[in-house]
Amino acid sequence: MTFLDMLRDASAQNNSMLCVGLDPEPTRFPAALKGDARKIYDFCAAIVDATADLACSFKPQIAYFAAHGAEDQLERLMQHMRANAPHVPVILDAKRGDIGSTAEQYAKEAFERYGADAVTLSPFMGFDSIAPYLAYHGKGAFLLCRTSNPGGDDLQIQRLSSVEGEPLLYEHVARLAQGPWNRNGQLGLVVGATYPQEIERVRGIAPTLPLLIPGVGAQGGDAVATVRAGLREGGPIIVNSSRSILYASGGEDFASAARTEAERTRAVLEAARP
């Protein structure tokens, strides 16, 4: 199955637009695990098991594993998700962006070493930095477009030239992803939940692409506005929440509390359907 097939099936089976982000911070683990980076796998696997029937995808952020030398735990986690939640696609949040020969190695890391179904990428170096990922047919690639961080304004809302009416940079990225770069139908876009009006603008430019939307939950994005701005027939959205689910409780009930928060978030998203 392709990434898009898996996404559609998981969304329908779990009645969900919710992506559960896996950003493990050992200092925030519950007391029995707290501060122990060797327990990253145990923590994340418990979250996966608690939310596997609520999520349309999982999104492990590779930096949270690599910073602790826990890449082997990420490999185990990927295997765990394959075995215990095989219907839920996994997006490796890596935000890679490099020249073609190096991109080939990063693509191999994402899709062969970790077995991800999709990956996040920076498009700043152009199409030849994206193409190696698209050689893995059926895999997905989400390009950073309009991100939720304040510093995104430094580049993303700049016009391509001083001519009135020229697109902003993020609009140009959306057009490339919807059009000439999307040769095998594998591309999606990352747009932040903190900018619902710009989500709507991106959706207008890229009506059929899946949108990965971080920023709901701890970052303050409006879940209802996000759904109404981005969801269209034939254009799926994947709304990510990480910290508010992962750290819903600091006690032994962390997994059940994560499930409760995931259920709540999923319900809010579903209620916002137009």
CATH of the domain at 25: 3.20.20.70
Provide the pLDDT for residue 165: 74
Instruction: Return the ∠ at Cα 13 (arms to 220 and 11), rounded to 5°.
Output: 40
Q: In the predicted model, is pLDDT for residue 185 greater than 80?
A: yes
What are 107's two structure tokens?
């693509």
Segment 59-117, tens digit of pLDDT? 999 999 999 999 999 999 999 999 999 999 999 999 999 998 999 999 999 999 999 99
Question: Is residue 219 pLDDT above 60, yes or no?
Answer: no
* Confidence band of 221 (pLDDT split at 50, 70, 90): low
Whether residue 147 is predicted with pLDDT greater than 60 in this model: the reply is yes
- Asked if 143 contacts 121 with a C-beta cutoff of 8 angstroms, the reply is yes
Task: Give the helix/strand (H/E) hosting 273.
Answer: none
- Residues present in the chain in total: 274
**86-90, 156-160, 216-220: least confidently modelled range:** 216-220
pLDDT digits (tens, 9 = 90+) for 19-39: 999 999 999 999 999 999 999
pLDDT at 274: 78
Q: Which of these ranges, 7-16, 146-155, 196-205, has the smallest mean pLDDT? A: 146-155
Tell me if residue 39 is catalytic. Answer: no
Q: What is the pLDDT of residue 139?
A: 98
Helices marked H in the chain? 3-13, 40-51, 62-66, 71-84, 100-108, 131-134, 153-156, 169-178, 196-205, 223-230, 243-246, 254-271
Least confident range from 50-54, 150-154, 243-247: namely: 150-154
Q: What is the pTM of this model?
A: 0.95
Number of domains in the chain: 1
Of the chain, the percentage scoring pLDDT greater than 90 comes to: 85
pLDDT for residue 224 = 85
Q: How far apart are CA 198 and CA 205, in angstroms?
A: 11
Given a cut of 90, is residue 270 above it in pLDDT?
yes
For residue 218, pLDDT beyond 70? no
- Label residue 166 by pLDDT band (50, 70, 90): confident
The one-letter amino acid code at 180 reads: P
Give the chain's mean pLDDT: 94
Q: How far apart are CA 164 and CA 170, in angstroms?
A: 16
**Residue 164 scores a pLDDT above 80:** no
The active-site residue out of 39, 95, 108, 139 is: 95
What does the DSSP assignment read for 219-245?
T-B-HHHHHHHH-BTTB-EEEEE-HHH
Q: Show the domain range for 112.
A: 3-271
Pick from 128, 89, 124: which is nearest to 107 by CA? 128
Distance (Å, whole) CA 133 – CA 56:
22
- Residue 215 pLDDT > 80, yes or no? no
